[in-house]
Amino acid sequence: MTGAREPRWSLDSAGDQSGRIAVVTGANTGIGLEIARDLAHRGATVVLACRNAERAAAARADILAGAADASVYVEELDTSSLTSVGLCAGRLRERWPVIDLLINNAGVMAKQHTVTEEGFELDFVTNFLGHFALTGHLADTLSAAPAARVVTVSSLTHRRRNATLDYDDLTLHRGFDSELAYARSKMASMTFMIELQRRFAASGSRAISLAAHPGGVRTGILREQNRLVQLVYSPRMTWLTGWFTQGTVEGAEPILRAALDPNVEGGEFFGPGGRGELIGPSVPVEISRRALDPAAGTRLWAVAEKLTGVSFPGA
């Protein structure tokens, strides 16, 4: 689980994915779009599960422009709303009773403290809790697949010292900081990824759980941050910042490795292997000890089940 080995791998070896059903959340832009594009071009049936249906339709058209025969569908999904998650999961289950690949990619890095109508801090519910609920709703469709994978898109920030979850203040009412909220949501996501793998293994499921991070990718998730941050990660500044940032195609590669590499093991975490894990080819990378702690996983799981009302069959 710690990612000590570094086998050589490239997307060229991933091969045809015909017959597989893949759901990608937040797939209308950024790395989500590139993940969906790659899977569709390999023959997988891809579902773009996105908050904005109009933008998702445009993303679908963009993918089909490069592969007219690709099988791409759009489903409305807002992971910041458990109601939306439940409705989307119901539609997915009805249309695709077997799902081979779930990529939990949708994310936000809110600039201001925002609590949703359901009472959750925006980063926490969008990045973690909504995906926990979606995975739970789809657990039986994943178990029905011959070799399903759940891939969590995480972040280097989960390893920050202050990323430890405060269960007495999950909404961050006692003090909001944008970077802290994001880091803690990613700590929750990583802890969930590991605990999900434990439960898959204990139940004898053929599914596995993995995670990956895109590195210093130039993406729209930083659109609410200050102008300096936006400038650093702007595609227009590549000539200056290219030594520590990379594009969405490169950023998608670690996630695609987790999804497609036949030699991965459940519980592994992939990221760029170059400078500071910000750029470079995908390799196994380190997971925070806090996320690996079984007690932390059990506690988070129980809290998430209580908050969402979603339980996993057999878990």
Look up residue 192 and give its DSSP letter: H
Domain boundaries, the chain: 11-304
CA 83/CA 60 separation, integer angstroms:
24
Report the 10 Å Cβ neighbour count for 314: 13
Q: Which residues of the chain have pLDDT under 50?
A: 1-5, 221-226, 228-234, 236, 239-240, 242-243
Is 167 one of the catalytic residues? no
pLDDT of residue 47: 98
CA 77/CA 49 separation, integer angstroms:
5
> Mapping DSSP to helix (H, G, I), strand (E, B) and coil, where does residue 211 land?
strand
Print burial letters for 254-263: b (CB count within 10 Å at least 16), e (below 16). Answer: bbbbbbbbee
CA 233/CA 303 separation, integer angstroms:
35
Contact of 39 with 257, CB cutoff 8 Å: no
Amino acid symbol at 296: A
Write down the catalytic residue from 73, 167, 182, 233.
182
Predicted model pTM: 0.91
pLDDT of residue 216: 75
CA 23/CA 275 separation, integer angstroms:
31
Q: Which residues on adjacent β-strands are paired with residue 211? A: 152, 269
H-assigned helices in 24-124: 30-41, 53-66, 82-95, 122-124
CA 263/CA 107 separation, integer angstroms:
27
Contact of 54 with 80, CB cutoff 8 Å: no
Contact of 232 with 246, CB cutoff 8 Å: no
pLDDT of residue 218: 62
Sorted by sequence, the CB contacts under 8 Å of residue 179 that are 6+ apart come out as 109, 157
CATH classification for the domain delimited by 11-304, as one of 3.40.50.800, 3.40.50.720, 3.40.50.2300, 3.40.50.300 = 3.40.50.720
User: How do strand 149-153 and strand 208-212 relate by DSSP bridges?
Assistant: parallel
CA 281/CA 253 separation, integer angstroms:
8
